[in-house]
Amino acid sequence: MGLPRADCPHKGSPMTNDLFLRACSGESISRPPVWMMRQAGRYMAEYRALRAQHSILEMIKDPELAAEVTLQPIKAFPLDAAIIFADILTLLEPMGLQLEFISGKGPVFHNPIRDAADVAALKPIDPRRDLGFTLDAIQLTRERLAGQVPLIGFSGAPYTLACYAIEGGGSKDFDQVRAWMYAHPKIWTDLMDKLTEGVTDYLLAQIASGAQAVHLFDSWAVSMSQADYRRQVAPWTRRIFETLAREAPDVPRIHFSANGGHLLEAIAEMPVDVLGLDWRVDAKAAIQKLGTHRVYQGNLDPARMLASDEAVIEGAREVKQAFSGAKAHIFNLGHGIIKTTPTDRVRLLIEEVRKA
């Protein structure tokens, strides 16, 4: 713990607000730091104005625009962390999958993985060459933040990447992916190996570019039973965290899986610093099961933000209370902020969290 992590391992301005990093380290702090998943996004007029002129991929691939979008919520609200504007799926493009965001439908891959030959054809990535736009955006954002708050980097986890790569887009439960996994256990292993290598290299490059914490989003792990998660997913997620723990021990590692309450025990066995909890997870019960010695992130129901000021305040108090038994708590929504969330409620929530 000793030195605040704020100015290590990266060069850069000393941190004005290092509450988030101290919470990640498990330090006892006066109040939970607060940020929100998808905080750079459609609920902000500033974002929609840019989005009207550019596609999502254009915004991600232009470091100037990505840095600007990343900073929009930081300028508007007293948040305790920034998260780089990027997408969990961009990694798959340089591996050979043709990604397109289709309005009203979400991400679509035009050449999904079908067989062993498709997996064999996946290319290893060179983060600088292939995803330099996000690395540059991280560097630019760090410069502009000038130590105001820390910057979080992220990637989709191998299983979630596999879901999109095999399904070719979104799905309710990704049944076809599990069917493919059960039918082709050896090809599954090869695919997960390749994705794991890509995610690891990408996150290490983000850290080298200035990311002060890394967030792994396994958005679709919810589609797995715990037994299958332990067999078919966890070994690869663990490998990523182990490599990061070895190569960048001072950079906190955060995990989040939407509605992944049934997987938390398996996730908690990995070298992860912060366990993100979905809004459906009973925080008190999770802390009791997984231990008070851990750092937790979450988990206000984002739907409360649409309801009323009272619903936000009541929910924020319940969440703070529920996590009060843990070593440290990072306040967040229990899922991404909903695009119709009024910005006044964002301000109200942050004020409520900041109250002692």
3-state class (DSSP) for residue 63? helix
Contacts of 53 (CB under 8 A, 6+ apart): none
Q: Does 268 interact with its own copies (rule: CB under 8 A)?
A: no
Helix segments in the chain, DSSP class H: 19-24, 45-51, 56-61, 63-76, 92-95, 116-120, 127-145, 158-167, 175-183, 185-209, 226-232, 234-247, 264-268, 283-290, 304-307, 309-322, 343-354
Using the rule CB under 8 A, give the single segment among 33-41, 147-155, 157-165, 304-312 that binds its own copies: 304-312
Which positions are annotated as active-site residues?
A: 38, 42, 51, 87, 164
Q: Does 259 interact with its own copies (rule: CB under 8 A)?
A: yes
The nearest distance, CB 261 to its own copies, in angstroms, is 5
The residue from 56, 303, 313, 348 that contacts its own copies (CB under 8 A) is 303
Q: Does 281 interact with its own copies (rule: CB under 8 A)?
A: yes
The nearest distance, CB 307 to its own copies, in angstroms, is 3
Among residues 85, 75, 212, 206, the alpha carbon closest in space to that of 151 is found at 212
Among residues 109, 106, 100, 103, the alpha carbon closest in space to that of 58 is found at 100
333 and 305 Cβ atoms separated by less than 8 Å: yes
Q: Does 176 interact with its own copies (rule: CB under 8 A)?
A: yes
By beta-carbon proximity to its own copies, the closer residue of 22 and 345 is: 345
Instruction: Give the burial string for 143-152 (b: 16+ CB within 10 Å, else e).
Output: eebeebbbbb
The residue from 261, 327, 348, 354 that contacts its own copies (CB under 8 A) is 261
* Strand-pair category, 253-256 with 274-276: parallel
Rounded distance between C-alpha atoms, residue 205 and residue 132, angstroms:
9
* Strand-pair category, 106-109 with 99-102: antiparallel
By beta-carbon proximity to its own copies, the closer residue of 77 and 188 is: 188
The nearest distance, CB 298 to its own copies, in angstroms, is 11
By beta-carbon proximity to its own copies, the closer residue of 111 and 308 is: 308
The nearest distance, CB 120 to its own copies, in angstroms, is 21
Rounded distance between C-alpha atoms, residue 13 and residue 8, angstroms:
10
Q: Does 349 interact with its own copies (rule: CB under 8 A)?
A: no
Using the rule CB under 8 A, give the single segment among 143-151, 161-169, 300-308, 325-333 that binds its own copies: 300-308
By beta-carbon proximity to its own copies, the closer residue of 320 and 335 is: 335
Query: What are the phi and psi torsion angles at 27 (to 5°)?
Result: -70, 150
The residue from 282, 324, 344, 347 that contacts its own copies (CB under 8 A) is 282
351-to-19, 32, 189, 309, 311 alpha-carbon distances in Å: 15, 12, 47, 12, 14
Using the rule CB under 8 A, give the single segment among 96-104, 110-118, 199-207, 333-341 that binds its own copies: 333-341
Using the rule CB under 8 A, give the single segment among 14-22, 62-70, 221-229, 348-356 that binds its own copies: 221-229
Chain residues in the site for its own copies (CB under 8 A) = 172-173, 175-183, 222-228, 259, 261-262, 279-282, 285, 301-308, 311, 315, 318, 334-335, 338
